């Protein structure tokens, strides 16, 4: 099963990816997570991506396509995978189709999580994340522990640079301009499964599973 999880930032893609991954027993490939890991480790890729990521801009297609092409060659992807935060541009979507055509395994579903922009800004500007395991809190609705140390893995809890209000507004514009056209691209192929991402995580999870049935 090959699934793409599409949607603006702050729609809960990371949270839902964990549920889909468990249910379908496929690896979860998030280009944002891979890029952040490279940033934290100071790799050449991380250094190239840093400025774009902190400003909420997209990293150039070539860099992202290389890392995805490499990741999809790993043996754990042979039975399918879940892509999160990729593709994000028409160039990436077309390159992915070419990669998949070579292995004769097309995309099965593109789940589109939809959330109003105002909700995205509230969610992301309050988001706090564990640097090590990716666990998520919200400054107002689900405050992190006072010491900002993750109770699950003892990692540091922080606010991502691209979750500042300014970067979030930019990310929404970038999404509308560069990623929005992918909805039509996948709709034309009959692959889009629309899910209301503004409900509770449990309700969204149930709606995703229903859309994949």
Q: Rule CB under 6 A: which residues touch ligand AMP? A: 9, 31-32, 35, 52-53, 56-59, 64, 85-86, 88, 92, 162, 171
Of the pair 1, 91, the CB lying nearest ligand AMP is at 91
Nearest residue (beta carbon) to ligand AMP: 32
Tokens of 175: 């999404």
**Contact partners, residue 14, CB within 8 Å, separation at least 6:** 30, 33, 84, 134, 136
Sheet holding 81-84, edge to edge: 28-30, 81-84, 2-6, 109-114, 192-196
What's CA 163's distance to the chain center, in Å? 14
**Alpha carbon 105 to chain centroid, angstroms:** 21
Q: Which of 36, 123, 127, 193 is catalytic?
A: 127
CA 112/CA 207 separation, integer angstroms: 11
The one catalytic residue in 23, 160, 194, 199 is 160
Active site residue 194: no
Q: How far is the CB of 12 from ligand AMP (least distance, A)?
A: 12
What minimum distance in Å lies between the beta carbon of 136 and ligand AMP? Answer: 12
Least separation in angstroms between CB 36 and ligand AMP: 7
Annotated active-site residue 177? The verdict is: no
**Given the complex with ligand AMP, which of 35 and 111 has the nearer CB atom?**
35
If the CB atoms of residues 67 and 208 are measured against ligand AMP, the closer one turns out to be 67
Torsion angle, CA of 64/67/70/76, rounded to 10 degrees? -100
**Known catalytic membership, residue 36:** no
Distance CA 107, CA 53 (A): 27
- Considering the candidates 88, 123, 128, 193, report the single residue annotated as catalytic: 88
Minimum CB–partner distance for residue 52 and ligand AMP (Å): 5
Both tokens of 36, joined, read 């952040």
127 is catalytic: yes
Q: Quick one: 109 or 171, whose CB is closer to ligand AMP?
A: 171
**67/207 with CB nearer ligand AMP:** 67
24 contacts: CB under 8 Å, gap ≥ 6: 1, 3, 80, 82
Of the residues 36, 123, 171, 193, only one is catalytic, namely: 171
**Catalytic residue set:** 13, 88, 127, 160, 171
């Amino acid at each position: 099963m090959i699934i793409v999880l599409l949607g603006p930032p702050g729609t809960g893609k990371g949270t839902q990816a964990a549920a889909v991954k468990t249910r379908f027993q496929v690896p979860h490939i998030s280009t944002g997570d891979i890029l952040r890991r490279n940033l934290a480790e100071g790799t050449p890729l991380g250094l190239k991506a840093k400025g774009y990521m902190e400003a909420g801009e997209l990293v150039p297609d070539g860099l992202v396509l290389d890392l995805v092409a490499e990741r999809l060659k790993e043996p754990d992807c042979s039975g399918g995978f879940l892509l999160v935060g990729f593709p994000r541009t028409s160039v990436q979507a077309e390159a992915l189709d070419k990669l998949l055509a070579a292995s004769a395994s097309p995309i099965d579903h593109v789940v589109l999580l939809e959330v109003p922009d105002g909700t995205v800004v509230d969610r992301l500007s309050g988001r706090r994340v564990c640097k090590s395991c990716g666990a998520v809190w919200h400054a107002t609705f689900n405050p992190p522990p006072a010491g900002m140390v993750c109770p699950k893995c003892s990692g540091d809890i922080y606010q991502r640079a691209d979750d500042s209000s300014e970067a979030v507004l930019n990310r929404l514009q970038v999404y509308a301009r560069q990623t929005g056209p992918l909805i039509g691209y996948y709709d034309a192929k009959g692959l889009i499964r629309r899910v209301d991402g503004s409900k509770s995580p449990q309700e969204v999870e149930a709606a995703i599973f229903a859309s994949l049935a």
